[in-house]
Structure 1
């Protein structure tokens, strides 16, 4: 083989080493061959729900696991309360950076409120049904939410009817809480 042919072949090989990965990456992006770096398990809320109106002035910024107590606490409600309490305890040494918040309104189940007050790691916020509806607007309150340190509700998790599913689903919540606590310097 002549020297010119070797040089041309070497240049072609060298060019393909740099161009081929770029072409493959473009093809993969255009055809959606992989998950585009979305690793959260919950549904990302867009636009976010601002709950800063419920914040007390002496409260230090913390990440929150939020649940809105319904009028009647069904099995889904009990599973949600159990899940968020378990997620907070499973955070281990990071649990002091997060808190469990349950929002109650005037039509919430009073008996369930009494049971919640006995638990030390659950903070109750009382508000009116009207202000709750204004805060959530088009968003359903039948879910578990993750709230950032600026009191913006950012992630939503559907309620589970089955206890086993609720426990499995709480692993997703725990995974997302660990990620936000790891990436956050506040709270």
Structure 2
């Protein structure tokens, strides 16, 4: 095989993937940036101020708008089942109920949850959501509280997937 024949075959083979990639970007044939299933917070919100520095755990916060209604209780049940399903990774996660109302009766039904009265649950970006909070108290991802159209198992699956990814890439523990 001579040099010109080799180049006439080799160059199109090398350039074809680049051309296809350029066309895919130009015509938006794929959906980019969908590694997470939750919605990233639109702004920086610290929902758990004053966390103890020695506690290096992630938080799953259920944040109702007012008092804990049926939708909020579905969210609590979803997060409790998710927490139980984490198995040995439970030591790296704490479920929280961030409500301005005292919820002693609700917390008796869901014993894995903690409640902090001074938490920042009044921010509109986190109300009526289940939020993944990092070890420093910053809200990262949010998921809507389950309602009739959304299955709690689907929301739990999405939270679990994102939480495990975040825990695997966590460099604060190292």
Give TM-score scaled by structure 2 length. Answer: 0.85
Aligned 1:112-127 pairs, distance under 5 A: 112-117=103-108, 119-127=110-118
Q: Which protein is bigger by CA-based radius of gyration?
A: 1
User: Per the alignment, in what secondary structure is the counterpart of residue 149 of structure 1?
Assistant: coil
Counterparts of 1:118 and 1:142, CA distance in 2: 20
Q: Does 1:68 align with 2:51?
A: no
User: Aligned residue for 2:86?
Assistant: 91
Counterparts of 1:156 and 1:164, CA distance in 2: 15
Distance change (3 Å), C-alpha of 1:164 and 1:52: closer
Whether the 8 Å contact between 2:64 and 2:129 is mirrored in structure 1 is no
2:23 to 19, 24, 27: 27
Q: Which runs of 5+ in 2 are unaligned?
A: none
The structure where strand makes up a greater share of residues is 1
Distance change (3 Å), C-alpha of 1:118 and 1:58: farther
Aligned 1:32-47 pairs, distance under 5 A: 32-47=28-43
Q: Which runs of 5+ in 1 are unaligned?
A: none
Distance change (3 Å), C-alpha of 1:35 and 1:163: closer
Task: List per-residue Cα deviations over 1:47-92 (Å, max 9, x = no partner).
Answer: 2312352x23365121110112443322211110001111111111
Whether the 8 Å contact between 1:91 and 1:178 is mirrored in structure 2 is no
Counterparts of 1:70 and 1:37, CA distance in 2: 30
The structure where helix makes up a greater share of residues is 1
User: Aligned residue for 1:177?
Assistant: 163
Aligned length in residues: 173
Report the CA distance between 1:16 and its aligned residue.
Answer: 1.1
Counterparts of 2:35 and 2:78, CA distance in 1: 21
User: Per the alignment, in what secondary structure is the counterpart of residue 144 of structure 1?
Assistant: strand
Aligned 1:141-160 pairs, distance under 5 A: 141-160=127-146
Whether the 8 Å contact between 1:89 and 1:95 is mirrored in structure 2 is yes
